[in-house]
Structure 1
Amino acid sequence: MPKISLKGQKMPESPIRKLVPYAEIAKKKGHKVYHLNIGQPDIKTPDVALNAVKNADIKVLEYSHSAGFESYRTKLSAYYKSHGLPIDVADIIITTGGSEALLFAMGSTMDVDDEIIIPEPFYANYNGFSTASGVKVVPVISTIDEGFALPPIAAFEKLITPKTKAILICNPGNPTGYLYSKEEILQLAEIVKKHDLFLIADEVYREFIYDENEKHFSVMNVPGLEENAIMIDSVSKRYSMCGARIGCIVSKNKEVMATAMKFAQARLSPPTYAQIASEAALDTPQSYFDDVIEEYKDRRDTLIAELQKIEGVKVATPKGAFYCIAQLPVKNADNFAQWLLESYDNNKETVMVAPAAGFYSTPNVGLNEVRIAYVLKKDDLIRSVAILKDALEVYNKK
């Protein structure tokens, strides 16, 4: 029998999606499953985006430019500038989701066996993208006791080798919701300039900041970092358009962008209808975002307050995005998460969470943690945490 590639064997399962078969079985039993495992917002996609697709008068569904529609990139540049980011049209390549942007970034800056330093826990698919690119993830651990703040710069310095090519951060973070301060970004900027590295910043949750005294500071705003900074962005969360699969890679580094363009040409072009929707979405009124932020802040505050009522649960309050990491009074969250779907129900209802070990690359770390996405309505979050509380009591009695 022909053998599967070593790369394929090493490709990690998604901690977010791997329990889906068990959720499907639970639903077939007639159980309601509250999905706390995946960052799929229930916020309505802006009408202006949906109507643009419905009303598109297209006779031939053609390829677009490999970098994406020029009209979209022009409008996107104006959007960034209106938010204080000095990003020109030439600095943008439209991609098939933020995922492809990350693959382009790794492919353009790293070779097989090169190393990328990432504070963990981190978005689980960074492991997958690194495996696909033949790149080694070198983790630097942030802890729930420190609120998942940036680890000391000395911890980064110790990990840098001749193989190190980049540091990757997610700001605000998935899965922690941590928001890096301006001071922390400037510290990272100094270290990448000192060691001639790239700083790749996944900023897809930029708009989701919940406290009035907190502001997002982008790597694109750091003076003198133009040759080092690469920004990743996406429409998925900003406009509740996960299915559009439209993102972008952004950099002032002309060599990086010329190289990324070769990857873009190899995959031909991003999808046309999704670009139409994404370009139109830029006309979404500010009132939409004001309402969304208010809703998510209320959900965050509700979730954290309810979780803190459960004995033995530790949780760090997220400052942005719509996730948190919760430490549970169990030995193995993978087993617990599967048990929730396979063997437990509370009045024919249960919850689905994402075991957090899959958001680390260090073995045996985060085994008793889960990521919770607060993308459900407030009443559903309260009910979900009540179910979780009862489930923990039942599970630990066993």
Structure 2
Amino acid sequence: TRTVIEYSPSEGFASYRNGLASYYQGAGLNVEADDILITTGGSEALVFAFMSCLDPGDQVIVPEPFYANYNGFAQMAGVQIVPVTARIEDGFALPPISDFAAKINHKTKAILLCNPGNPTGTVYAPESLDALAQLVRDHDLYLFADEVYREFCYDGAQPKSVLQLPGLEQHVVLVDSVSKRYSMCGARIGAMVTKNAAVRKAAMKFAMARLSPPTLAQIASEAALNTSESYFGQVRDRYVARRDALVEGLRNIPGVTVPNPGGAFYAVCELPIDNADAFCQWMLEHFDLDGDTVMMAPATGFYATPGAGTRQVRIAYVLDLPMIERAVECLRAALGAYPGRRDV
């Protein structure tokens, strides 16, 4: 029993790291408590990984579209993101390995993935990850993986963790978080997981400089490890129903293209419009359907390549089913009224 809200060890409470190791082992991952560094959110875990593994001026290859905050984390570490573009026509599958290889030069030190993906909801095929692993080994790169949506995979998909890729024990750094898994984004608890002792030692210096991850939030996160699998089953069923309603509804709107996301709770769709930034702003400022409208994220913010994604938006299906259906109605009406509509 704790009687004061003291600092935890910089690497996090041992009881929580032991519990988290058991969670990973239950998911088929070979992780021990000593492989885990508890962080202030998954964001800090990735910043620690960048700053522990890379030098200013180094390059990290990232499939785009990607989580926009990766840009800020890279700037903090003084490293450069080099995009490899995934295509909506391919369901935002992992780009061909040859595309990654073409981007590698003497400054390339790492590849960063998000699987399942934000903003696309794509779950990468195991064989694609195996091929990428060979590239990582051949060029002696680090492989950073953001796997915070692991529980949210649909249609029987089983996401393959980078920790399951053979021969990459010294190359892989996993980023994790309680934010999505338990809907605890305000707790700000994440984890950096790696078998590489030198990387852990370097990251501990940054961890000690910020003293400790949040004490109360670690206690809450440790308790969350007892969440039953039935909870996740119910959540997945709910998200699948929302996804299906969204995708079916969008595909019935002329001119709209949307892949069927295999995980997370996002979909990126391409619309018959001139510019997604202008359209999303117009939706909020100038359009309503009997008082309702839809807030979306222009996909341009998820691309590093200038001019990419200009007709795409990200939609998060985090609302209840009737509101998803109503959002599709609003979007259909809006596309009919938008002055910048462009049919291709």
TM-score, length of structure 1 as denominator length: 0.84
**Corresponding residue for residue 61 of structure 2:** 117
| TM-superposed deviation, 1:223 | 1.7
| TM-superposed deviation, 1:351 | 1.1
Could you tell me whether the CA contact under 8 Å between 2:273 and 2:340 is conserved in 1?
no
- The yes-or-no answer on 1:331 pairing with 2:274 is yes
Distance 1:367 1:264 in 2: 39
Distance 1:341 1:86 in 2: 47
Give the aligned residue type for 1:335: A
Distance 2:275 2:14 in 1: 49
**Corresponding residue for residue 325 of structure 2:** 382
Match of 2:131 among 162, 177, 187: 187
**Corresponding residue for residue 232 of structure 2:** 289
| TM-superposed deviation, 1:293 | 0.8
Distance 1:182 1:328 in 2: 30
**Corresponding residue for residue 143 of structure 2:** 199
- The yes-or-no answer on 1:305 pairing with 2:248 is yes
- The yes-or-no answer on 1:361 pairing with 2:343 is no
**Partner-residue secondary structure (3-state), 1:396:** coil
Distance 2:97 2:280 in 1: 35
Give the aligned residue type for 1:149: A
Match of 1:175 among 93, 112, 119: 119
| TM-superposed deviation, 1:58 | 4.9
**Partner-residue secondary structure (3-state), 1:255:** helix
Aligned residues: 341
Match of 1:275 among 218, 223, 229: 218
**Corresponding residue for residue 251 of structure 1:** 194
Superposed CA deviations along residues 45-86 of structure 1, whole A, max 9, x for unmatched, are xxxxxxxxxxxx754211111111110000000111011010
Superposed CA deviations along residues 201-242 of structure 1, whole A, max 9, x for unmatched, are 100001111112x21111111121100011110111111111
- The yes-or-no answer on 1:127 pairing with 2:51 is no
Superposed CA deviations along residues 121-179 of structure 1, whole A, max 9, x for unmatched, are 01111111111211111000010011111111111111101110100000011111111
Give the aligned residue type for 1:253: N
**Partner-residue secondary structure (3-state), 2:82:** strand
Give the aligned residue type for 1:75: G
- The yes-or-no answer on 1:69 pairing with 2:8 is no
Could you tell me whether the CA contact under 8 Å between 2:19 and 2:222 is conserved in 1?
yes
Give runs of ≥4 in structure 1 deviating > 6 Å. Answer: none
What are structure 2's unaligned runs of at least 5 residues? none
Superposed CA deviations along residues 247-303 of structure 1, whole A, max 9, x for unmatched, are 100000100111111111111111111111100000011111110111111111111
| TM-superposed deviation, 1:397 | 7.0
Superposed CA deviations along residues 17-60 of structure 1, whole A, max 9, x for unmatched, are xxxxxxxxxxxxxxxxxxxxxxxxxxxxxxxxxxxxxxxx7542
Change (3 A) 1:397 1:372: closer
Match of 1:140 among 77, 80, 84: 84
**Corresponding residue for residue 38 of structure 1:** none
**Percent sequence identity over aligned pairs:** 57
Distance 1:143 1:207 in 2: 25
**Corresponding residue for residue 224 of structure 1:** 167
**Partner-residue secondary structure (3-state), 2:49:** helix
Distance 2:43 2:221 in 1: 16
**Corresponding residue for residue 164 of structure 1:** 108
| TM-superposed deviation, 1:184 | 1.0
Distance 2:340 2:117 in 1: 34
| TM-superposed deviation, 1:396 | 3.2
Give the aligned residue type for 2:35: D
TM-score, length of structure 2 as denominator length: 0.97
**Partner-residue secondary structure (3-state), 1:192:** helix
Higher relative contact order (CA 8 A, sep 6+): 1
Give the aligned residue type for 2:251: Q
Match of 2:185 among 236, 242, 252: 242
**Corresponding residue for residue 176 of structure 2:** 233
Could you tell me whether the CA contact under 8 Å between 2:274 and 2:340 is conserved in 1?
no
**Partner-residue secondary structure (3-state), 2:76:** helix
